Amino acid sequence: MPTPVNKPRLINSFYTRVVYPLLQSSSYRGLPRLLKQNGERERLSLEENRRQQWDSLLHLLQHAYDSTPFYRRRFEEAGLQPRDIASPADLRKLPPLTRDDLRLHQDELWSRRYQRNDLLSAATGGTTDTPIPLLRAPEAIPRKAAVHSRFNSWAGMWPGDKVFYLWGARVDYPENPSWRWRLYDRYLMRRIWAPTSMFNEQVLESYRQTLNRFRPRILYGYPTPIALFCEFLRDSGRPFHRPASVISTAEPLLPQHRQVIEQTLGCSVYELYGSREFGMIAAECECHQGLHLNPSAAYLELLPVEGAELDGLHEVLVTDLLNEGMPLIRYKINDCTRVGPEECPCGRGYPLIQQITGRTMDNFYLPNGDVVPGISLQNRVIKVCPGVKKIQVIQDTLSEFRVRFVPGDSFSPDDLKPLQHKLDEYFGNSVRWRFEKVDDIERERSGKTRFCISHVPRPLPSSRTGPNAETR
């Protein structure tokens, strides 16, 4: 539809130059300079951006070969030296990096040019996969934050704007914040977090009231919970504040999500694509013609998927160009995309990719009428079972669920006990669980990796909300 993108105001400049670098220096050190650099890259031609991206890739390959035992061995096993890589075809001679590689070779992957204790801890995101620890160089953090902030600005979100987060990842904010933290978040960082683990009429109404009191400029979150919230706002008949923009991330933004959000709120939705491994990788601009890849942040390879239902489907391999602390080269992120036009009417010299497929989640409808967005399980459930490699949650009836799991090398039946406890705590005692051990959880022919699958049809609107429940 697109609406005009919001312009920065004086308060945004103050937050960019003073507040963020002062309060969160590890993430926002040098933010004005880094944002300027990102803006300059956008104005370069597509050809020049590709040239600089390739130079960055060659530098990373040499760095990884020289400083990590894993990559030196991987190059030698492939009969390669970094100087042999002269084209994308040469790069494909190097085997892709998998999550099993990360599990099995943790201590060989970090760069010996850093002191181990100086590297910062992170983890893979995991949809069906259990999260795996990662390491990052300190200088990578503000670079990634600047890429993210620049992408946000395309949607009219600037440092210091009021943001209402409909968010499922508890790792990003405290579950039981102190009053000091609530004041810090609300009045200094100008943001409010709304958990999306359980939706019912009481929860959604409380979020409507918060939206009206806070009056955010931006609504930011996972597309499925945002769409459910917008349906509630539309159907409630009660007044609600309309933000200037909506930013969607963490799962694919489907056409039906976009339609209900834009029709209800009267503003444009902007999709961001990223992962816990890499941070933000690509984003939608005001032309909404696809997702722009930031070539200074990552190098993407698109490999054809044989036998896929969709014509032109390609698997995405990602190389991180910003983190030299633990290089991730040709990493199988388990997402797919379709190849389309590379240039955009917006004129930015960043290549386009089409909508990402993968990491799709159904919603679960419980006997009491509550709704559990499947995306909310990603950071709460699978991380409690380190002995399990992959998990898939399937709802067969209102009260019957299955958990399909792939055991890890160190798996024992006791590893399922904390998972069972977490699921009981999360869903209550109105549902039953059955566990099925499987050899693998395959990608579907559509290219999607489905973590949460529900075979229960969506209830009619009159029966969709049930008894009061606390927000989890």
The residue extents of the domains of the chain are: 10-46+140-353, 360-463
Encoded tokens for 301: 């390879």
Q: Name the more confident of 217 and 418.
A: 217
CATH of domain 360-463: 3.30.300.30
* Identity of residue 280: M
Burial of 460 (0-12, 13-18, 19+ CB in 10 A): exposed
Burial of 311 (0-12, 13-18, 19+ CB in 10 A): exposed
User: Distance (Å, rounded) from C-alpha 106 to C-alpha 103?
Assistant: 6
Looking at residue 308, its pLDDT comes to 65
- Nearest 10 degrees: CA dihedral of 162, 352, 324, 145? -10
Name 199's bridge partners.
371
Residue-wise pLDDT for 175-203, tens only, equals 677 888 889 999 999 999 998 888 889 99
Mean pLDDT of the chain: 88
User: Given a cut of 50, is residue 462 above it in pLDDT?
Assistant: no
- pLDDT bin (cut points 50, 70, 90) of residue 126 is low
For residue 69, how far is the Cα from the chain centroid? Answer: 29
Q: Name the more confident of 3 and 146.
A: 146
Residue-wise pLDDT for 350-399, tens only, equals 999 887 876 567 888 888 888 888 777 765 566 667 678 888 899 999 99
Helix (H) or strand (E) holding 381: none
User: Distance (Å, rounded) from C-alpha 269 to C-alpha 284?
Assistant: 9
* Identity of residue 141: I
CATH of domain 10-46+140-353: 3.40.50.12780
Name 134's bridge partners.
122
- Which are the contacts of 272, defined by CB distance < 8 A and separation ≥ 6? 148, 151, 152, 247, 248, 249, 280, 282, 283, 284
CB count within 10 Å of CB 420 equals: 14
User: Distance (Å, rounded) from C-alpha 199 to C-alpha 191?
Assistant: 21
User: Given a cut of 50, is residue 465 above it in pLDDT?
Assistant: no
Encoded tokens for 331: 């990493």
- Nearest 10 degrees: CA dihedral of 114, 38, 348, 19? 130
CB count within 10 Å of CB 361 equals: 24
Looking at residue 464, its pLDDT comes to 41
Name 111's bridge partners.
none
Q: What are phi and psi of 8, to 5 degrees?
A: -70, 150
Residue-wise pLDDT for 365-376, tens only, equals 888 888 888 777
Looking at residue 471, its pLDDT comes to 35
Looking at residue 388, its pLDDT comes to 82
Looking at residue 468, its pLDDT comes to 35
User: Distance (Å, rounded) from C-alpha 214 to C-alpha 307?
Assistant: 49
